[in-house]
Amino acid sequence: MNATIAMITFRSMLGRRRALLLLLLPAALVMLSAALRLIGENDLEVAANVLQRFGVATLLPLLALIAGTGVIGPEIDDGQIMYVLTKPIPRQVVVLTKLAVAIVLVTLFAAVPTLLAGLILAGTTEMMTPAFTVGVLAGGIAYSAVFVALAVVSRNAVTIGLLYALVWESLLGNFAPGAKSASIQQWAVSVADALTGTSYVTSTVALGVALPLLALTTLAAAMLAVVRLRSLSVASAE
């Protein structure tokens, strides 16, 4: 971790426009949960559907995409990353610092709102709220690593990330068993499923498969980002 890089990245990510993007979806989730509670639609089945379909399937990947690509993508696009790369800072420190900032942002703007929404809808009944919060956090770490790596590898990271989240995970994931098994979303749901006792939360991936895949995906994406960032500095120097 590099405190200076982290501080600059936080300042950039929490500027007016990006902060607004980071706040819109979490606010919508909490407001939807409050509205459902007011009209009495707050049983466990409703809570599970809201937390899984909105919290895990929509809020989490979009927030992680904004955070993961935003912490490093704009700096690469406008060339400012070269000011960092010319400093005697190991490339893995740069990547890990950026990744840590993205994970903190996902925790604040995805995991915490999921916790609040769950408490509003179901309290701590059947441990559903803590289960989804942990699931979102686990999935958020993997998503963040993937999107940070994507931002380093491609200038079209946002477009590719949206296609992955909306087409592969949301569309194909509902029809193709193979897509479900290779889905960070399903791995996150698997964590939640293992921690709650309710039958309304089900995953197509076993926890014993989901946890290693989450760890391997995070590690592989971080390593890819480090390798690509090293080649980027070499190419620029030449």
| Domain boundary assignment for the chain | 3-237
Question: For 19-54, how does the pLDDT look when each residue is reduced to its tens digit (9 = 90+)?
Answer: 787 888 899 999 999 999 998 877 888 999 999 989
pTM: 0.91
The pLDDT value recorded for residue 218 is: 97
DSSP state of 87: S
pLDDT tens digits, residue range 92-133? Answer: 999 999 999 999 999 999 999 999 999 999 888 899 999 999
Upper half-sphere CA count for residue 216 (Cβ side, 13 Å): 8
Q: What is the pLDDT of residue 223?
A: 95
| DSSP category for residue 79 | T
Cα–Cα separations (whole angstroms), residue 79 to 7, 45, 74 = 19, 49, 8
Phi, psi dihedrals of residue 59, rounded to the nearest 5°: -60, -50
Mean pLDDT of 189-214: 91
82 Cβ contact partners less than 8 Å away, ≥ 6 residues apart: 233, 236
